[in-house]
Amino acid sequence: MALQLGDIAPDFTQESTEGTINFHEWAGDSWVILFSHPKDYTPVCTTELGEVSRLKPEFERRNAKAIGLSVDPLDDHHGWAGDIQETQGHALNFPLLADADRKVSDLYGMIHPKANDTLTVRSVFIIDPSKKVRLTITYPASTGRNFAEILRVLDSLQLTDNHKVATPVNWCDGDDCIIVPAVSNEEAKTLFPEGWDEKKSYLRMVKQPGKA
């Protein structure tokens, strides 16, 4: 059965470009972005790995770690890392799991049961510090992932975990938020003393908490 939001992310031990990874231990108290690839030396994935390497400071600023996965052996990963640095201008600076035995892919339901190859292994999982799965996205092989969107969702999850708000369509960090319906107007007066814009009783817009 595929992982559902709120499930505990399966633990595993697997080799990577940065040594043996004991996943829950490695994750520690961080958020984790786990994303997978069908095989090494694929063009779209090469650009993605370069971009995640470039974005490492943005993940660190959010207490998040990235970890990749490809179903090829570790030796191939090391060769691919050279191509990533050469073509993308950023060296691989996070672990890339070697999942040749499909152990992690199977644990996370990355390979569709009707697939005859590994081309469906292009999934993203956001996992919170309590090891719960908070987001899953699966992309087609031809479409590069949008890591700006993944950072946006991470910002939203971290904000809404700490404040009684939700984020509206196309929200980005700093934009107005929505007071969740479970919060009464009386409670909202305490939580949001500067007030809010009540468009409907269930749609109350408020400045993002914690922003000047």
Active-site annotation, residues: 45
The angle formed by the CA atoms of residues 18, 149 and 74, to the nearest 5 degrees, is 20
Alpha-carbon dihedral sign for residues 13, 42, 141, 120: negative
Asked whether the beta carbons of 168 and 180 are under 8 A apart, the reply is: no
Using DSSP, state whether 187 is helix, strand or coil: helix
Q: What is the DSSP string of 41-59?
A: S-HHHHHHHHHHHHTHHHH
Instruction: Report the alpha-carbon angle 165-154-198, nearest 5.
Output: 20
**Residue 126 CB partners (closer than 8 Å, separation 6+):** 31, 32, 33, 133, 134, 135, 150, 153, 154, 157
